[in-house]
Structure 1
Amino acid sequence: MDADYLPFHPNPSNPAFKVPLGAVDAHCHVFGPAQQFPYAPERKYTPCDAGKNKLFALRDRLGFARNVIVQASCHGRNNDALVDALNTAGDLARGVAVIDPAITDEELRHLDAAGVRAVRFNFVKRLVDSTPKSVFQGIAERIAKLGWHIVVYFEAPDLEELIPFLSSLPTTVVVDHMGRPDVTKGINHEDFQRFIRLMTEHENFWTKVSCPERLTVSGPPYDDVVPIARELVDLFPDRVLWGTDWPHPNMKSHTPDDGQLVDVIPRIAASPAKQQALLVENPMRLYWG
């Protein structure tokens, strides 16, 4: 583990908000354990081990029924830890993989059988080396044939340059963490309005209204992030997802309390109908439909 790495919260609080029956944590990770699933040599960070058993224990503690497990950059393109977690969970989990463009059709079928339903394209420069868009385009065409979709991770200043490429993708596109807006600029700033326009003009685009702990400037209880997330839930109630982002890789400011993160949900999805869509209907339609 890196010397400045903050491990996940060892004893998160029990949330006051009770999630609806069948709720899905639609963005979380598994890390290692490294002795069984070594981290990628090209990784930009070395996390603490955070294996499947700890993830599933958190799921049960917070009251969720299912997980969508996203391959993290510390494991590179080796999805073994992800597949192992999916095989253990059975129908209670689905996966988002990171794949090598040279992957065989047989290997893709293996991932599909395990429960992978998407690939992730990461454009955050501090986390991954740059990949030519032509490589991503080739992967997109292959996974579209499987009925998978694409998850994209980028930071708000990079969106304008990415729009032509993102708009060309042939599948549903899910944007991680609201496109990482600068919350100090507010919902009326051009940067956030550009993201709103992207979502409005392309009905195949979804977003995760997750990670207030990453986006906040003021810290818990994340009052500065709530208006941004609530705006997206209100505008696109049938195309939003939510997740813990456990075990919260590369947090520098504080160790998030997952129970406290759950208690943000009713502040961004203000009605039972919106909560049901955010936590149950939308992820079930996208990942289990």
Structure 2
Amino acid sequence: MSETCSAPITGIDSHAHVFSRELNLAAARRYTPGYDATLVQYLKHLQTHGLSHGVLVQPSFLGTDNSYLLAALRQAPAKLRGVVVLERDVSRDTLNDMARLGVVGVRLNLMGKSLPDFRDAAWNDFFGHIAELEWHVELHRHVEDLPGLIRQLMPLNIKIVIDHFGRPDARLDFDQPGFSELLELGLSGQVWMKVSGIYRLAGTQQQNLKFARTALLLLVQSFGLRRLVWGSDWPHTQHEDSVGFGTVVEQLQALECSTQLMRSLLVEAPRELFGFDLPVSY
């Protein structure tokens, strides 16, 4: 199913996963899928909802074996970009090969893990390669720990992307630890936020949506339109029974975005961040 011709961008989903339950799973994992999330299924969801392009993110339960994601990139190179999970000692040749396939970033999923110190010399070569390739570093961690991590990365001249609104707690106010600092760091122009995973914000459906709606207004003020991107987070791991692709599209619509903001979330900001240098039709 090779796809080599470029297509107009009608919308970019900036965060989704593909996998098979038959793959070798990481020994240390918080989740084990009982189903397949295939590229064919994903592309059908995009088409159904009027979206044209997507960014595939390596799920944590596959560890650093990115082979399934890379195979997907080979099948639809014009429509997809990739974000991988890597060991710090990965070779530059391996990174170069991934870049040629459409990989544009590396994910550090730090949920449930000890906080790293990115100032440690052991990270130097790794982040040096990432900066030279002009990839981004994607951080997944609860909001109270994000400002410290971001400040360690900022001097390295690396683009920084934050998952799922920064994983704040929708049951708390906006003065919860880390959130106001995150907004301040957004003023730097070096940090992007994924407007995704509303259902992961720890509250009820109503609490999550109310929080996300106000949070988005604050994020626009701090990050600006061109530093916010939307993602479906398909197939919504750990929430599969209650959330579908249609659910998250409805949640996006319920954020009551202006036409300008919606265009930026779905087209302009992700096109720039992920390198979709294609004609636009929106």
In the superposition, the TM-score normalised over structure 2's length comes to: 0.85
Instruction: Please give the per-residue CA displacement for 1:211-252, whole angstroms capped at 9, x wherever unaligned.
Output: 111115121683343221233135421100000101112339
Structure 2 residue 222 is the aligned partner of structure 1 residue 238: no
Please say if 1:208 is aligned against 2:194.
Answer: yes
Residue type matched to 1:80 in 2?
S
Which segments of 5 or more consecutive residues in structure 1 lack a partner in the other structure? 1-19
Change in CA separation of 1:158 and 1:90 when aligned onto 2, cut-off 3 Å: same
Please tell me whether residue 43 in structure 1 is matched to residue 29 in structure 2. Answer: yes
Which of 58, 61, 71 lines up with 2:58 in the alignment? 71
- Written as runs of structure 1 = structure 2, the 5 A alignment for 1:49-88 is 49-88=36-75
Match runs of 1:54-203 below 5 Å:
54-125=41-112, 128=113, 131=116, 133=118, 134=120, 135-189=122-176, 191-200=178-187, 202-203=188-189
Partners of 1:240 and 1:282 within 8 A in 2 = yes
User: Judging changes above 3 Å, is the alpha-carbon distance between structure 1 residues 131 and 218 closer, same or farther for their aligned structure 2 residues?
Assistant: same
Task: Tell me the SS of whatever aligns to 1:43.
Answer: coil
Q: TM-score, normalised by structure 1?
A: 0.83
Q: CA deviation at 1:206?
A: 0.7
Across the two proteins, how many residue pairs are aligned to each other?
A: 264
- SS of residue in 2 equivalent to 1:91: coil
Once the two structures are superposed, residues 229-280 of structure 1 have per-residue CA deviations (whole angstroms, 9 ceiling, x without a partner) of 233135421100000101112339x521321211222443521111111100
**CA RMSD between the two structures:** 2.3
Higher relative contact order (CA 8 A, sep 6+): 1
Identity of aligned residues (%): 30
Structure 2: distance between partners of 1:147 and 1:166: 14
Contact 2:89 2:126 in 1 (8 A): no
| More displaced stretch, 226-235 vs 273-282 | 226-235
- Pick closer, same or farther for the CA change 1:229–1:26 going to 2, 3 Å: same
